[in-house]
Structure 1
Amino acid sequence: MTGPEHHQHIDLNGRAAIVTGAGSGIGRATAIALARAGARVLGVGRRREALQATADQHPGIAVHPADLRDPDAPAGVVEAATERWGRVDVLVNNAGATAMMPLAETGADRVTALFALNVTAPSLLAAVALPHLREASGTIVNVSSTYGHRPLPGAAHYAASKAAIEQLTRSWALELAPEGVRVNALAPGPTESEALSAAGLPEAAVAQVKEAEAARVPLGRRGEPDEVAQWVLRLADPGTTWLTGQVLTIDGGLELT
């Protein structure tokens, strides 16, 4: 399923894509899938080594280390792509943080930091990329979460940040439709990634959470990053001409429970 032959029907030759959070998980799988379909991909993330490991998977991937919470970062990212390739056709807003934050422990700094990465950064990136997306009749794919439209006790602000992404997706889709720019979102369920460890949970707790998550999913397991990346690829496909403003949930049926 991951081989180049799987992508023959999606042709991104000559197109340029930006993928944030490309150092691991869904972002890494997406960067590779887009490159295999012929796109030139700029992988963005905070850790150069992790990005380099992604780029090592395909010669079509270039890297750009940046902390997207830095106010100058979005302009720097788009500039890095346009200087290399003269265009931006696809923007995949995948970078984001998960934060366990019960209401009793909610603090202003933590809320601000979470929204800075999960809501403000993708908004600014989209704004800076917009002139290029207009020119290319390009597309934005935002990565939400099944918890963008389901409650998540103990991590309400994470869920709220993803709900914001879904509403931005719908509103931008209407706003940009007259200019031929499509905007959609994917809402993955629990997927194999480093997010839980990055959130500061000890390994034993991570294993416990993963097991509990898999047990709740009707298809009986957590998702693989490549299973989500396939759908980013489909949403980014220039052949997907009439689909905009949609949030597609890929979660093994979890949202139905």
Structure 2
Amino acid sequence: MDFTGRTVIVTGAGSGIGRATTRLFAGAGALVLGVGRRREALAGTAGRDEAISVHVADLRDPAAPEEIVSAAVARWGRLDVLVNNAGATKIMPLAETTADGVADLFTLNVTAPSLLARHALPHLRATAGCVVNVSSTFGHRPLPGGAHYAATKAAVEQLTRSWALELAPTGVRVNAVAPGPTESEALTAAGLPAATVEQIKSDEAARIPLGRRGDPGEVATWILRLADPSATWLTGQILTVDGGLELV
């Protein structure tokens, strides 16, 4: 996969899948704008790689999507790939569901990627570029106790299919990767105690046919493959990368 001369925006680039994706794109020749809320985490992603620039932003800010796209285009004059990776996980049983909890999840997991894609669209049309959304295996399987998180990812998958049809005449491709449980900071960021996080990880690994949780780099590889400029006839697809979890 050769992305030389192409520019990429990756959200949620400070850790996990976003960090691995940012570094992998840069290694494949792309110029990458890594976006996240934590400046130090983004600096850790970029290291000394001159192909990686960073942009600190909270995607829940309605002005952030336009600012992010403008920053990439101002720096490099074009945009070829948008990776909507940023998102939040929240354990919220129905008996504990609140309006604010639901709204926060949908703002970050659904509204933000929608607005990013909107502002990126003119530039992606100009380059016959693509969007890669990051869903979850729980976007198409139930998640007791986390129904609203699963609902946001189901929304991402339907956005992917609908945008793919809508944008096909313009040459812009839209696909998604749906990772299973992957090593990241998501569970800790959801506010769960350390012991609970470790128990969840152990339980997940036991259910996965391949016997373990995923590595961020394994998911990042498929993000690049979906964005590969040579994948010119692939659009509207949801690729599940979950160690076989959706089979059980």
TM-score under structure 1 length normalisation: 0.96
Cα distance in structure 2, aligned partners of 1:181 and 1:34: 19
Equivalent residues in 2 for 1:82-231, closer than 5 Å? 82-231=73-222
Q: 1:205 Cα deviation (Å)?
A: 1.0
TM-score under structure 2 length normalisation: 0.99
Contact 1:18 1:44 in 2 (8 A): yes
Q: Are residues 1:39 and 2:1 paired?
A: no
Cα distance in structure 2, aligned partners of 1:250 and 1:58: 28
Cα distance in structure 1, aligned partners of 2:48 and 2:177: 24
Post-superposition CA distance 1:39-66 (Å, at most 9, x none): 0000000000000100106321100000
Cα distance in structure 2, aligned partners of 1:132 and 1:49: 29
- Secondary structure in 1 aligned to 2:61? coil
Contact 1:95 1:118 in 2 (8 A): yes
Give 5+ residue unaligned stretches, structure 1. Answer: 1-9
Could you tell me which of 61, 69, 77 is aligned with 1:78? 69
Contact 1:32 1:57 in 2 (8 A): no
Give 5+ residue unaligned stretches, structure 2. Answer: none
Cα distance in structure 2, aligned partners of 1:151 and 1:207: 21
Q: Are residues 1:18 and 2:19 paired?
A: no
Cα distance in structure 2, aligned partners of 1:121 and 1:58: 27
Contact 1:36 1:58 in 2 (8 A): no
- Secondary structure in 2 aligned to 1:226? helix
What is the identity percentage for the equivalent residue pairs of Structure 1 and Structure 2?
74
Post-superposition CA distance 1:112-133 (Å, at most 9, x none): 0110000000000000000000
2:56 alignment counterpart: 65
Post-superposition CA distance 1:189-248 (Å, at most 9, x none): 000000000001111111111000000000000000000000001011100110000000
Post-superposition CA distance 1:67-126 (Å, at most 9, x none): 001010001100110010001100000000000010111111110011000000000000
Cα distance in structure 1, aligned partners of 2:116 and 2:232: 23
Q: 1:150 Cα deviation (Å)?
A: 0.2
Count of residue pairs the alignment pairs up: 248
Q: Please tell me the root mean square deviation across aligned C-alpha atoms, in Å.
A: 0.6
Provide closer, same or farther for how the CA distance between residues 53 and 173 of structure 1 changes in structure 2, counting only shifts above 3 A. Answer: same
